[in-house]
Structure 1
Amino acid sequence: MFTNIEQCVEFLTSLKKGSSTSIPLEVVTSLLHEFGDPQHTFKTIHLAGSNGKGSTLNALKEILKYSQVEKVGCFVSPHLERINERITISDKQITDEQFLLYVNKVFAAIDEKDGVYPSFFEIMTIVAFLYFADEKVDVALIETGIGGKLDSTNVIDPVISIITTISLEHTAILGDTYDEIAYQKGGIIKENRPVVTTVENEDAIEVLRKIAEEKHAPIAIFNEDFTATKVTQKEHTQMFNYSKGDYAINDVELLMAGPHQINNASLAITTALLLKDAGYFDITEEAIRKALKEAKWAGRFEEYGHLIVIDGAHNPEGTEALIATLKAKYPTREYDFIYAALQDKDHLKSIKMMAEVAASMTFTQISMPNAAPAAELAALSQHHHTYFDADWECVVKRAVEEKEDEHVLVITGSLYFISEVRAFLNNKVKQ
């Protein structure tokens, strides 16, 4: 039994893969059944996708908050600073005491059952569902970990499923084509439950459409069933028009930066309208406007000090969105990139995209077993101003101190890297 949060987290993170040889979904299903299936005692909305899950979830959470929904649970990953960030109710993180209580409950059930520990993410999933059930949330927004079909969160019967984007990542687990990955992500689509998506790849869309048809699940597809079009860029926000059938809302002000965030916001609006149509919650236009004007997601085009941007663009699609955002917000500036990532990503494609717009590129690495070495990343760059240094703190500190006034310093890559940088900058830079 754990009485100390630090020791508890240390043990949990040592269980990255767990000791169970069963499919994650089966492990979680079995353990949750021991607790009386708490995941079926509250409404859920399930989110899968390669990019945009967090931003979409956060935008929807804000819409629900401004629609006077009292208890909105959120289960997200990864965390940036504290493990408690992964499990929240109406913006309040699970406390250390509550977290220890539920982890100890889960461990006791495991020891009584067979003593075989599931993975870190599987335990976190169970803890979240137990907590949300006990706190009687009105609705919980649940992010998948990887994929969807076999993901440990796929034990719920959501009132709506959301699939954001699909890119070629985690190919060893999910498959190496868009339709194979779409099949896995589409595993969260449930019988007679609506699904909303901004997936753009035609092969992936066809797979999702087929799954939805087989499940008799109404599907709403971006640019077919609902649209969102940017109107103008303001200093701190962007404006867009949204429409779905006969419903339209114009000049929506969005705090989140970048064209891709308009897509994410449109997913949140569409989901909110479906919730309203089903009679779950009273969603108003005023709530939508207020929510999107304020919604922001840490570590995603987050600005620090003067022209310093951090962004967890952890795959080529994320890098593409980051560059589009930079061009939209700072079209006349030059960009100095700092990049660190894990080994399981398509670095070459991301690096090539950054090199096309960069004034300089510096590569570094974080203290993780699967971190991509800075020298190897630098070797992939053809940019004439390429540098590398394995000490990320020295790299960031030097870059901030020596930053050219009119350049944008862009710190990007793995969200694990961004979490470290964010804590560092919170101490050093942010006013």
Structure 2
Amino acid sequence: MFHTYEEALNWIHARLRLGIKPGLKRMEWMMERLDHPEKKLKTVHIGGTNGKGSTVTFLRSILEEAGLRVGTFTSPYFEQFNERISINGFPMSNEELIKLTNLIKPLSEEFEETDLGAPTEFEVITAMSFYYFAHIQSVDIVLYEVGLGGRFDSTNIIEPMLSIITSIGLDHTSILGETHEKIAFEKAGIIKRNAPILTAVKQPEAYSVIEEKALEQDAPIYKLGEQFSIENHESIEKGERFTVRTAFQTIENIEISMYGQHQTENAALAVMAALLLKEDFAIDDAHFLSGLKKAYWPGRFEIVSHYPLIVLDGAHNEEGITTLVNELSRRYKDKKKRVIFAALGDKKLNKMIAKLDSIADSITFVDFDYPRAADAEQLFAISTGTDKRIQSDWKQAITEEFQLLNKEEMLIITGSLYFLSEVKPFVEKTL
């Protein structure tokens, strides 16, 4: 029995040692023991390589504006673990986490005596979320973000009202496969019978896999650029402005406060999803515009200071780094760019660092405390930059960069979202 938040959280985090165990049997077993809370929920399932969290945020914000009580299950957390299970953007309380942990722990112990083995951290948290939304805090709808892949992800026991696949990129290739087609096959595992599937996937070979799965499941498919599209896009001082045109309705003069063309795509997916959800919920034009304008998701090209100019961006894979580099080149051509970078060791580091080298006037590689984090020395050795250095203490690196920064320069702190979750509170305290 856990009595404190720290005890409960330590037990959950200790399960990281079990690693990743793709498969649904452990989840199905736990749901059976909990009388299937997942079947009591209306859900939307969001998968993809990049853009999941932003798409969840855009859709949540639209639905909130319509007066709905919206649950979200996301990962990783950014400032507080409880964020992973939230309602209308507010994390569950510490007391609720203790209650959920005490509920799941006996099941976990019983599980460890079976051939299936102990449930992982992600499986435990996912099970907690189902019970939470079904029995502790009632909601109108829950937006479930896929943890890894889709087909064998712990969240894939739900029967959603609709599913979204944001993008396909070559991430987690050791688990999901080395090609866009193989990764698309895993992501397409969230497509369910008769449930619409929305996607912004660009690669023809990946889209064809998704389309084939949709046909197999009799799932209506909506592809960005075909069944719905973005028009009149322009970047504005604090975000983007654009129109989303669909066969149902056109939403004009949308403004979002998140930066980049990729965010217009994530927002368009949310718009299309909300239009489909209008059959079940009362959503009008004002809810779209105000919800999208208010949507905020930390660590995604987030400008935490304008003077001096400091950007935090959780570009944690090759596609994310490419998007970051493109946006920096487009918006800040005349600024010298100082970069601080940390990453997980299981990423395609060569390509990520090469892209950063191409735009960085200086780059500092740092360590951070996480089981899969790459050593700063490893990152430094990969870089071909002419002005590069190692600083094992990331707090010292940031402090030094603050002191050096002048008005012709900008600082970009990027890499793993786990790294950024530690960085942001420090930066806000230091500025």
Which segment is superposed worse, 80-89 or 362-371?
A: 362-371
Distance in 1 of aligned mates of 2:196 and 2:323: 27
2:288 counterpart of 1:288: yes
2:4 counterpart of 1:4: yes
Structure 1 residue matching 2:361: 3-state secondary structure: strand
Provide the residue aligned with 2:107 in structure 1: 109
Distance in 2 of aligned mates of 1:358 and 1:112: 52
Distance in 2 of aligned mates of 1:275 and 1:17: 39
Distance in 1 of aligned mates of 2:6 and 2:23: 25
Provide the residue aligned with 1:263 in structure 2: 265
Structure 2 residue matching 1:27: 3-state secondary structure: helix
Distance in 2 of aligned mates of 1:425 and 1:223: 39
Distance in 2 of aligned mates of 1:329 and 1:23: 40
Provide the residue aligned with 2:428 in structure 1: 426
1:328/1:250 Cα in 2 relative to 1: closer, same or farther (>3 Å)? farther
Unaligned stretches of 5+ residues in structure 1 = none
AA of the residue aligned to 1:15: R
Q: Deviation of residue 148 (structure 1)?
A: 0.4
Q: Deviation of residue 206 (structure 1)?
A: 0.2
Quick one: percent identity of the two aligned structures? 37
Structure 2 residue matching 1:15: 3-state secondary structure: helix
Q: Runs of at least 4 residues of structure 1 off by over 6 A?
A: none
Provide the residue aligned with 2:223 in structure 1: 221
Provide the residue aligned with 2:298 in structure 1: 298
Q: Deviations over 1:282-341 (max 9, x none)?
A: 221111111111111011111122210011000111011112222343232221111100
Give the TM-score taking structure 2 as reference length.
0.95
Distance in 1 of aligned mates of 2:231 and 2:400: 40
* Superposition CA RMSD, Å: 1.5
2:157 counterpart of 1:159: no
Asked whether the 8 Å contact 2:301–2:313 carries over to 1, the reply is: yes
Out of 55, 79, 82, which is 1:81 matched to? 79
AA of the residue aligned to 1:63: I
Provide the residue aligned with 1:403 in structure 2: 405
Distance in 2 of aligned mates of 1:198 and 1:51: 11
Provide the residue aligned with 2:37 in structure 1: 38
Provide the residue aligned with 1:58 in structure 2: 57
2:124 counterpart of 1:129: no
Unaligned stretches of 5+ residues in structure 2 = none
Out of 359, 368, 371, which is 2:370 matched to? 368
Distance in 1 of aligned mates of 2:350 and 2:105: 42
Distance in 2 of aligned mates of 1:364 and 1:320: 20
Structure 2 residue matching 1:60: 3-state secondary structure: helix
Asked whether the 8 Å contact 1:230–1:238 carries over to 2, the reply is: no
Asked whether the 8 Å contact 1:241–1:251 carries over to 2, the reply is: yes
Which segment is superposed worse, 313-322 or 361-370?
A: 361-370
Asked whether the 8 Å contact 2:317–2:348 carries over to 1, the reply is: yes
AA of the residue aligned to 1:403: L
Provide the residue aligned with 1:48 in structure 2: 47
Asked whether the 8 Å contact 2:21–2:120 carries over to 1, the reply is: no
Distance in 1 of aligned mates of 2:139 and 2:310: 38
After TM superposition, list the pairs within 5 Å mapping 1:165-314 onto structure 2.
Answer: 165-245=167-247, 247-276=249-278, 279-305=279-305, 306=307, 307-314=309-316
1:88/1:185 Cα in 2 relative to 1: closer, same or farther (>3 Å)? same
Report the number of matched residues.
425
AA of the residue aligned to 2:83: E
AA of the residue aligned to 2:89: D
